[in-house]
Amino acid sequence: MHEFAVARALVDAAIDIARESHIHRITRLRCRIGDMRQVDRWLLDEAYALAREGTPCEKAELCVERTHMQLECKACGRLFSVIDWDWRCPDCGRSGSNARGGDELELTGIDGEPTDED
């Protein structure tokens, strides 16, 4: 249950960016989370609802882009995404190797309304 830590860190980071960018109300928070982080979307939404209370993110929608680990097929060389933890090549069924990606945990942007003086 690290989803609460993720949600709180997302809200904190979004508030920092909003301050730097003179945004007073955040309407959308965009992030990229790799499967390897094993962040459950339902738990994240629950945690985010709590973490954003009383903050400039209070009304902000949370958009999550999921990324997958990539493997290289040992037999046919195909680079494929691992879905549902299945490490077998979708073409030839052999196990893949040389893992890359899938561990992203990044805030990629915010949308919001600028403060009045801007």
Partner 1 sequence: MKIEVLRNVFEKNDQAAEQNRSRFDRLGVSCINLLGGAGSGKTSLLESLIPRLSSWMRVGVLEGDLATTSDAERIGALGVPVVQLLTDGGCHLNATLVQHGMESLLQSELDLLIIENVGNPICPANFDLGEHLRISVLSVCEGDDKPQKYPLLFKHVGGVLISKCDLLPHVEFDVDQAEADIRTLNPSAKLLRTSARSGAGIADAASWIRSVVERQPDAVPSS
Residues in touch with partner 1 (CB under 8 A): 1-2, 5-6, 9-10, 12-13, 17, 21, 23, 31, 36-38, 69, 71, 85, 87, 95-99, 102-103, 105-114
C-alpha 78/C-alpha 98 separation (Å) is 12
- Judged by beta carbon, residue 91 or residue 111, the one nearer partner 1 is 111
Min separation Cβ 103 and partner 1, Å: 6
Min separation Cβ 12 and partner 1, Å: 7
Assess contact for 59 and 90: CB atoms under 8 A.
no
Local structure of residue 115 (DSSP, 8 states): P
Cβ neighbour number for residue 88 with a 10 Å cutoff: 14
